[in-house]
Amino acid sequence: MIGYSIKRFGSALFVAWLALTLAFVALRWVPGDAVDATLARGGASPGEVAARRDMLGLNDPLWRQYGDYVLGLVRGDWGESLVTEQPVAEIIRQNIGATSALSGAALLIAVTLGVALGIAASLGRWRPVRYGAEGLASLALSTPVYWTSTLAIYVFSIVLGILPGVGGEGIRYLILPAVVLGFHTAGSIAQVTAGSIRNAMGQGFVRTARAKGLPELDVLDHVLRVGMLPVVAVVALQLGFLLSGTVITEIIFVRRGLGRVLLTAIDNRDYPVVEGLVVLSALTYSAINMLADVAYRVIDPRVRMEE
Amino acid sequence: MSAAARNPRLAVALGVLGLIALVSLGAPWIASHDPRAAEPENQLLEPSGEYLFGTDLLGRDVFSRVVYGGRRTLGVALLTAGITLAPGIAIGLVAGYAGRWLDWALMSVMDALLAFPSLLLALALVTVFGSGVVQIAFAVGIAGIPAYARVVRAAVLEARAVPYVEAARAIGARPAGILARHVVPAIATPLLSFAGVTLSWAILNSAALMFLGYGGDVAAPDWGVMLADGRESFRTGPWVAVAPGVALSLTVFAINLLGNSVAPPPANR
């Protein structure tokens, strides 16, 4: 188990390194960055542009830039914005709270709703319940947040007037965006939950449990223990989706956060900021997946046996 | 035909998709107005006989824009899915069949790409490629390759472990022949099912980039662009966002239904 954890940590580290190298290469590849754009707009001469690039180390050989970049990442120096000259690490610190609150709340809603729908769709006693839950999950999967957000703001904030719409901070402003984002994410959690429970229901131990006269409630307990396992993996995967889902949600609900920072940086070709955010999400995502893999082995002894 | 009759989900899915394809292809005959013609005097009119789904902020007919929008939105999505599927299948087949260091190298790169949430990866790629329809298709398409390659590889690993493939290898059949004759047919069903997932994902993500304004042409009739327009005017004209939203959801819903009725979605990992 400990051996596995160390090995898994090693491979997560390797993947993260590969990911940030890819990000570095891709973003160095493109011609024209914010230095050119910002200084040209301000009417700077080509000489001044060159001097600024020199100062930022953008004229160094690529291997040197790469070395500085990796060392900087490790030391916590993530470079600075080409537009505002603010350190990227500081920009992230200022905005990560709002984004974490949104994705945390959305995840809570997604898991609760998704698991409930998945159980109802697979174990519901009554046919309309099963079909209704399945339909709702499909609806969630096929309605993207950039469409449900507008709808939700219109219904809850304009027609009913019970929740604030765009802008602002605090709990009341968190409800609508979290529900919209959570609803879409619940769709795939529900589908995986339902599929996995149906799969578990068809296995031999269920027949054995019933044959030896176990009360149906205990059989259900057996089924859920096995059926809920893949949900751990899918929740980890969905966290990645939430990281990108917050981009659109933050824009529509005019919220502060990393998503808004990212889009502004993309529009300005502010590469250090784009790079920093992309690397941050890759690191977060690798860490989450690693934890999910380890958790999987802790919960399910069968996976350990296969090693 | 009998398959559709026995399977009501399949029938519904095919019916809806057929209708959407028909409307998109026949857009010039179905649309009642020019989808790009702005008539400022007809700004934000409610749905009526003349303007079935109302008009938008610039006085353009929402119905005609939705009808034409399918062409652009679904066209981009098909191109996107193609950009995901072709390399995804190739990489998955090679990695799964060759094994050893090639498998390790390919899958390491795929894992590194998978570390980026797909929409974020697509956004980062749009930074590199710039705005435009084809650029969006490439950005979203490339972002989808790692997930598809992984699914293909997993299916190949399962297919090559069966005794008849082992037997074919034992009698000295060439790898290319084994792949084409035994492995590909065996993995066709899971791949087809996941291709459906990929297509609906391509629609949602490319429309998301259109919504965010990376499509270049902001006046184009396009469901993603229209949803962005609808967001601007939802206080006074909520109908502007409703029609493209319903069209988009209906399409994705039907594709998912089709995928589920052909084969159950593959389990994760």
Per-residue pLDDT tens digits for B158-201: 888 788 888 888 888 888 888 888 888 888 887 887 888 899 99
Contact B267 A286 (CB under 8 A): no
Asked if B252 lies within 8 A of A141 by C-beta distance, the reply is yes
User: What is the reported pLDDT for A37?
Assistant: 63
User: By the CB < 8 Å criterion, does B264 face chain A?
Assistant: yes
- What tokens were used for A247? 């981009």
Contact B28, B266 (CB under 8 A): no
Dig out the tokens for A234 from the structure: 């899918």
**Does the CB of B247 have a partner CB in chain A at under 8 Å?**
no
ipTM, two decimals, is: 0.82
- How far is residue A300 CA from its own chain's centroid? 25
Q: Which residues contact A300 (CB under 8 A, 6 or more apart)?
A: A229
Instruction: Answer yes or no: is pLDDT of B265 > 80.
Output: no
DSSP per residue, A1-53: -HHHHHHHHHHHHHHHHHHHHHHHHHHHHSS--HHHHHHHHTT--HHHHHHHH
Q: State the SS3 of chain B.
A: CHHHHHCHHHHHHHHHHHHHHHHHHCHHHHCCCCCCCCCHHHCCCCCCCCCCCCECCCCCEHHHHHHHHHHHHHHHHHHHHHHHHHHHHHHHHHHHHHCHHHHHHHHHHHHHHHCCCHHHHHHHHHHHHCCCHHHHHHHHHHHHHHHHHHHHHHHHHHHHCCHHHHHHHHCCCCHHHHHHHHHHHHHHHHHHHHHHHHHHHHHHHHHHHHHCCCCCCCCCCCHHHHHHHHHHCCCCCCHHHHHHHHHHHHHHHHHHHHHHHHCCCCCCC
pLDDT at res. B17: 92
**Which CATH number applies to B3-262?**
1.10.3720.10
- Sign of dihedral through CA atoms A69, A70, A71, A74? positive
Question: What is the reported pLDDT for A281?
Answer: 84
Average pLDDT over residues A274-288: 85
Alpha carbon B243 to chain centroid distance? 19
What are B55's strand-pairing partners? B61
Is residue B174 a contact partner of residue B181, using CB atoms and an 8 Å limit?
no
> Using CB atoms within 10 A of its CB, is residue B171 exposed (0-12), middle (13-18) or buried (19+)?
exposed
| B131 touches A at CB < 8 Å | no
Chain B residue closest to A290 (CA)? B115
User: With an 8 Å Cβ cutoff, are A141 and B241 in contact?
Assistant: no
pTM, entire model: 0.85
Mean pLDDT of chain A: 83
Searching chain B, which residue's CA lies closest to the CA of residue A260?
Answer: B212
**Residues A188-217 pLDDT 10s:** 899 888 888 888 888 888 888 888 888 888
pLDDT, tens digit, for every residue of B1-60? 566 667 788 888 899 999 999 999 988 898 888 888 888 887 777 888 778 788 888 888
Domain boundaries, chain B: 3-262
Percent of chain B scoring above 90 in pLDDT: 31
pLDDT recorded at residue B205: 92
Contact B234 A150 (CB under 8 A): yes
- State mean pLDDT over B114-143: 88
Tell me the shortest Cα–Cα distance from B172 to chain A, in angstroms: 31
For an interface test with B, which of A20, A33, A147 has the most B Cβ atoms less than 10 Å from its Cβ?
A147
**Residues with Cβ within 8 Å of residue B238, at least 6 apart in sequence:** A154, B230
Q: Is B210 on the interface with A (CB under 8 A)?
A: no
Of A29, A146, A282, the CB nearest to B211: A146
Q: Is B212 on the interface with A (CB under 8 A)?
A: yes
B256 and A138 within 8 Å at the Cβ level: the answer is yes
User: At residue B13, what is the residue type?
Assistant: A
Total domains in chain A come to 1
Q: What is the spatial distance between Cα B255 and Cα B204, in angstroms, rounded to a whole number? A: 12
To the nearest whole Å, the CA of B71 is away from the closest chain A CA by 19
Domain that includes residue A138, residue range: 1-307
CATH number at residue A112: 1.10.3720.10
Q: What is the pLDDT of residue B65?
A: 92
* CA end-to-end distance (rounded Å), chain A: 10
State the Cα angle at A213 between A212 and A219, rounded to 5°.
95
Which of B 82-111 lie inside 8 A of A, CB atoms?
108-109, 111
* One-letter amino acid for residue A136 of the chain: L
Residue A242 and residue A103 in contact, taking contact as beta carbons nearer than 8 Å: yes
